Amino acid sequence: MSFFKRLKESIASKTEAVTSKFREGLAKTREAFVGKVAELFSRRKKIDEEFFEELEEILIGADVGVNTVMGLIDELRDEVKKRKIELPSELQPIMSEKLVAMLQGSSQEIGINENPNGITVILFVGVNGVGKTTTIGKLAWKYKQQGKKVLLAAGDTFRAGAIEQLEVWGGRVGVDVIKQESGSDPAAVMFDAVQAAKRQNVDVLICDTAGRLQNKSNLMEELAKIHRVIQREIPGAPHETLLVLDATTGQNALQQAKMFGEKSGVTGLVLTKLDGTAKGGIVIAIRNELSLPVKFVGLGEKMDDLQHFDADQFVHALFADLAGKDESEDTEAE
């Protein structure tokens, strides 16, 4: 059975709605990235330097990342030599498989680490303008739908209007927001929020923080302090520290993941604004170069457009068209 058939079966068990969300959300990436790759493989009749160069450009153009691309191209060159491949069509399944392997990684997808006996604390961090507050709104909605009791902490006390923005989301979703005045110490807000969460017996406490660039050491220290305060009040918390990355970001995304990972103990990533733009490629780079799992992806502007990242779904949404081809070739061979 071909790889893609197995994949198809694996996602067949999941709901239709989720599958179509991924397919729709990644439509642009599919067109720009997978479509171009397929076109290249069918157009070129020979594997030569130009072929590799063009392939390299398509991959880099999708923000897959220079390191990852160069590594992949080198591997493909080796395969070509080893297996004496001459036709691009023979190379195509090899490449698809390599990309898929990168995306799926070695580790199984892990859901959100929830506290079985008590409050689950989720801390959001990231640079400015990546969509932390919006993601929190969407996540709160998700938990609310599951019948959980949710509380939000307005830890962005710096940016003008940030507290109000979270309050609007709180109103929409119907959950309380713990806040202090703009300009106050975010660690103090967290302390208040944790106390309130304990008092109100909530299931999930979601903490917002101000956006900060990863090279500002004092702001990164502030984050460490927030982390410490939460940890002190609820041992084992925060159960998840999620770094929000904007999918339109280039190579700096890797730098962000590295620095935030070191300073604030990031446990997972959220990739926002993945819809509409052709930039799903960064997922490949992240999975190839970092050991952090992608936990959620933002696939649209609506309240329910935040999805658990599912490597199988992601791969299927991207490569299903290529897979169709593979399968027909498989049948021929049989």
Partner 1 sequence: MAFEGLSTRLQNVFGKLKGRGKVTEDDVNEAMREVRLAMLEADVNFKVVKDFIAKVKEKATGLEVVKSFTPAMVIIDIVNKELTELMGGTQEKLAKASKPPTVILMAGLQGAGKTTLTGKLAKLLQSQNHKPLLVAGDIYRPAAIKQLQVLGGQIDVPVFTLGDQVSPVEIAKQGVQLAKEQGNDYVLIDTAGRLQIDAELMQEIKDIHSAVNPDEVLLVVDAMTGQEAVNVAQSFHEQLALTGVVLTKLDGDTRGGAALSVKAVTGCPIKFASTGEKIDQLEAFHPDRMASRILGMGDMLSLIEKAQTNMDAEKAAEMERKMRTADFTFDDFLEQMEQVRKMGPLDQLLDMMPGMNKLKGNPNFKIDEKQIARTEAIAKSMTKVEKKKPDIINYSRRKRIAAGSGTTLADVNRLLKQFEDMKKMMKQFSGMMGPKGPKGGMKAMKNMFGGGKNMKFPF
- DSSP code for 35: I
Retrieve residue 50's tokens: 């130009």
Main-chain dihedrals φ then ψ at residue 158, nearest 5 degrees: -95, -55
Give the residue, chosen from 18, 38, 66, 188, that forms a contact with partner 1 under the rule CB under 8 A. 66
Instruction: Return the range that interacts with partner 1 (CB under 8 A); candidates 10-18, 77-85, 138-146, 167-175.
Output: 167-175
Main-chain dihedrals φ then ψ at residue 236, nearest 5 degrees: 90, -15
Give the residue, chosen from 123, 194, 282, 322, that forms a contact with partner 1 under the rule CB under 8 A. 282
Instruction: Based on the shown chain and the rule CB under 8 A, indicate whether residue 270 belongs to the binding site for partner 1.
Output: no
> Among residue numbers 104 through 123, which ones bind partner 1 (CB under 8 A)?
none
Question: How many angstroms from the chain centroid is the CA of residue 51?
Answer: 31
Nearer to partner 1, 65 or 268 (CB): 65
Retrieve residue 248's tokens: 């339109």
Residues in binding contact with partner 1, number by CB under 8 A: 45
Tell me if 82 sits within 8 A of 76, measured CB to CB: no
Retrieve residue 325's tokens: 């081809």
Phi-psi region of 131 (alpha: psi -120 to 50; beta: other; left: phi over 0): left
Nearer to partner 1, 128 or 200 (CB): 128
Nearer to partner 1, 120 or 256 (CB): 256
Instruction: Based on the shown chain and the rule CB under 8 A, indicate whether residue 291 belongs to the binding site for partner 1.
Output: no
Retrieve residue 233's tokens: 């009040």
Tell the smallest beta-carbon distance from residue 129 to partner 1 (Å): 3
Instruction: Based on the shown chain and the rule CB under 8 A, indicate whether residue 85 belongs to the binding site for partner 1.
Output: no
Nearest to 312 by CA among 171, 127, 101, 158: 101
Which residues of the chain form contacts with partner 1 (CB under 8 A)? Answer: 28, 57, 60-63, 66-67, 127-131, 137, 158-162, 164-165, 167-169, 172, 182, 213-217, 246, 248-253, 255, 273, 276-279, 282
